[in-house]
Structure 1
Amino acid sequence: MMKEILQEKIYREINGLRQGMFLQSEDTGNPVLLFLHGGPGSPEIPFTQENPTGLEKLFTVCWWEQRGSGITYSRNTPKQTMTVEQMISDTLAVTHYLLRRFGKEKIYVMGHSWGSFLGVLTVQRAPELFHAYIGIGQVARQAESERLAYSFMLREFRAAGNKRMVRQLEKFPIDNGAKIDIKYLSVRSKGMMMLGIGVMHHGTSMLDCVKMVLRYKGYTLKEKLNYPLGNSFSLRCLWDCVLESDFFTRAPLLAVPVYVLQGRFDYQVSYSVAQKYVQSLEAPVKGFYTFENSAHSPCFEEPDKMCRILREDVLQGRADLADFPETR
């Protein structure tokens, strides 16, 4: 049979709201993968133009831009619908659309950062719809992760004699119980990028990410301008929910195979906390994979390694390549 290649930007009504997505595949006969982006409010397909993942070679990939984000963002989106429960419902609705469209009984779901938070809760709700769950930059206990990152940054900037960054961080005494709010996140992101522990290990500033969005050919000018509006809107609505969650108690068991891909230098979502979560998690198959040259985005930083894991472990239902493979 001829391979059917797919490259599509579409909109569908999802739970009463027009939502956008990009579909990519080098062979639509391949398994389907739903990618849940981070943020909240930060779609990631713009980054693939300069940092190709290769996912479309293994899967028919859906890069859905969530309620309040990216090409789905609208000033008319009611704030009261920006809840975790609504986001789970939307994810399930998109899943059912993909099942119908591609004639599948199950799909794979991959969540990055905030998307890993949403992914775990969605799979927990309806495991029968998914072959497996893949987490990247896995959220587990984010308040603890933020405190670890804060302490690390203070130590590093003090040791380097960077008094300016020390002063900026000391305005937010997170290690003494200060609120981890949106204002702090901008300082935190700046510090993380400088130390190579944020979005990318080899990135230097958040401006790099902004430039990738602006250069992305799949967005119109209006969509590029809406991108930061959606990011700010979604973050304000959903950040506290991420911060308060504890998956050690909320999601101690998942009924599908679980694979977590974590950058060694990731402090945006703590490497050590994610590792402990996977070790404690009950799942039929589980694997934790360390990406030695990555921070928060191994899908963009070490895509070849990611694809090997997907091809040899995830698609085979094994965890042979994992740091500590476990099959029940």
Structure 2
Amino acid sequence: MTALRRLTSAAATALAVGALLRRTHLWSDGKPLPVVGADGHPAAGGLAEKLYLDVNGVRQGMFLRSRDAAQPVLLFLHGGMPEYFLTERYPTVLEHHFTVAWWEQRGTGLSYSPGIPSEAITSEQLIADTLTVTDCLRQRFGTDKIYLMAHSGGTFFGLQAAARAPERYHAYIGMAQMADQLQSEVLAYQYMLRRFEELGDKRMIRRFRKAPVTVTGGTPRAYLAIRDTAMHRLGVGTTRDTHSVLSGILWPSLRSPQYTPTEKLRLWRGKFSSGVSALWDESLATDLGETVTELTIPLYLLHGIHDYTCSYPLARQFFEKVQAPLKGFYTFHRSAHSPLFEEPERAHEILRDDVLGGATSLADGT
């Protein structure tokens, strides 16, 4: 009887845990959410698909979303860790005007594999992957050109891909565009130390003073260990309202019903294996203002004025220097690092009217 009671208790516990996991979405089937129309029901011509491709010898995944698969195609390059799951909290409505490919790059998210050594992930490799994925999308949707949109770390190789193969793209859209990232980190360090001094946070002041960021000394490990925490605490990280990596990023990723438990594990294994970015050292050693001096396609840069992950003033300086047949810079006054998530209505208007319209009527100074 005792053994039977134990078995019954264990079964009841397992059922309760299973029910809790299902209610919180920690256990999920990973099925993409449907794209809905204006009436709130699944769009008749909608596309919601999780897709895996062989990209230069590595199995890589993405989410495809569109109200109508006949819309122009947009490839989205995330900023180091996939951010597709954040669209559940911050709807972007990109799928209202584009067929969007939320690609999770080599070594991250759906595309993470422990068999890929971190040293194999270089900007040259990611540029090559970007062009291969671009060609797959062009072939699938029967179009000569697509739009390329990159965020944060994705802008480092996305901009270079657009410069290298402009014939594949209608335009390049950079959100939180990287420029001279080492100088950006120096500015971020100085700002955060000053803010913590103003707040009287003695613990953070001590930690920052022990790990100074300089052009000659770079970014010490002790600084990188507190960088994300400090940025989010001060509201200059992912979004203005994300004050904790745990509540603002980790928990939403674990609750997303569009990833299986295994895929959620890959999200964080990829993040932990790459640190800030797999291309961190390379990006610190590169000034994109010197590497990419000209684009032969339209250039659109969207940047939050409160962004210290990628410097707003340095992005503006890059914009002023780079040559392009058409270019527009768009300041988001209520945003930090992710204007598309933080001010989606304005981003939507820019993408609909300027990017798709081949104009810059909404750009700063016009």
Q: Same fold (TM over 0.5)?
A: yes
Equivalent residues, number: 322
CA deviation after TM superposition for structure 1 residue 182, in Å: 5.1
Instruction: Report what 2:211 is aligned to.
Output: 172
RMSD (Å) for aligned C-alpha atoms: 1.4
Report the secondary structure of 1:76's partner residue: coil
More moved, 176-185 vs 53-62: 176-185
Instruction: Report what 1:221 is aligned to.
Output: 261
For 1:231, which of 266, 271, 290 is the aligned residue?
A: 271
The answer on whether the counterparts of 1:141 and 1:248 sit within 8 Å (CA) in structure 2 is: yes
Report the secondary structure of 1:174's partner residue: coil
Q: Distance in 2 between matches of 1:186 and 1:47?
A: 23
For 2:96, which of 57, 72, 92 is the aligned residue?
A: 57
Q: Distance in 2 between matches of 1:293 and 1:215?
A: 27
Report the secondary structure of 1:91's partner residue: helix
Q: Distance in 2 between matches of 1:315 and 1:182?
A: 42
More moved, 172-181 vs 75-84: 172-181
Q: Distance in 2 between matches of 1:150 and 1:223?
A: 34
Q: Distance in 2 between matches of 1:267 and 1:217?
A: 31
For 2:82, which of 27, 35, 43 is the aligned residue?
A: 43
Instruction: Report what 1:205 is aligned to.
Output: 244
| Aligned: 1:240 with 2:264 | no
CA deviation after TM superposition for structure 1 residue 169, in Å: 1.0
Which segments of structure 1 move beyond 6 Å, counting only runs of 4 or more? none
Instruction: Report what 2:48 is aligned to.
Output: 7
Mark the CA change 1:27 to 1:176 in structure 2 (over 3 Å): closer, same or farther: closer
Alignment of 1:105-254 (within 5 A): 105-175=144-214, 177-181=216-220, 183-207=222-246, 208-235=248-275, 237-254=278-295
Deviations 1:230-253 (A, max 9, x none): 013234642101111101111011
Q: Distance in 2 between matches of 1:177 and 1:215?
A: 42
The answer on whether the counterparts of 2:184 and 2:311 sit within 8 Å (CA) in structure 1 is: yes
Larger gyration radius, structure 1 or structure 2: 2
The answer on whether the counterparts of 1:158 and 1:166 sit within 8 Å (CA) in structure 2 is: yes
Mark the CA change 1:250 to 1:161 in structure 2 (over 3 Å): closer, same or farther: same
Deviations 1:23-82 (A, max 9, x none): 00001111000000002xx01111011111000101000001100000110111244431
| Aligned: 1:261 with 2:298 | no
Q: Distance in 1 between matches of 2:323 and 2:273?
A: 35
Aligned residue type for 2:86: F
Instruction: Report what 1:319 is aligned to.
Output: 360
Alignment of 1:261-280 (within 5 A): 261-280=302-321
Q: Distance in 2 between matches of 1:58 and 1:15?
A: 30
Give unmatched runs, 5+ long, in structure 2: 1-42
Aligned residue type for 2:270: G
Q: Distance in 1 between matches of 2:343 and 2:221?
A: 29
Identity level (%): 48
Aligned residue type for 1:77: I
Report the secondary structure of 1:241's partner residue: helix
Instruction: Report what 1:19 is aligned to.
Output: 60
Q: Distance in 2 between matches of 1:237 and 1:304?
A: 32
Report the secondary structure of 1:313's partner residue: helix
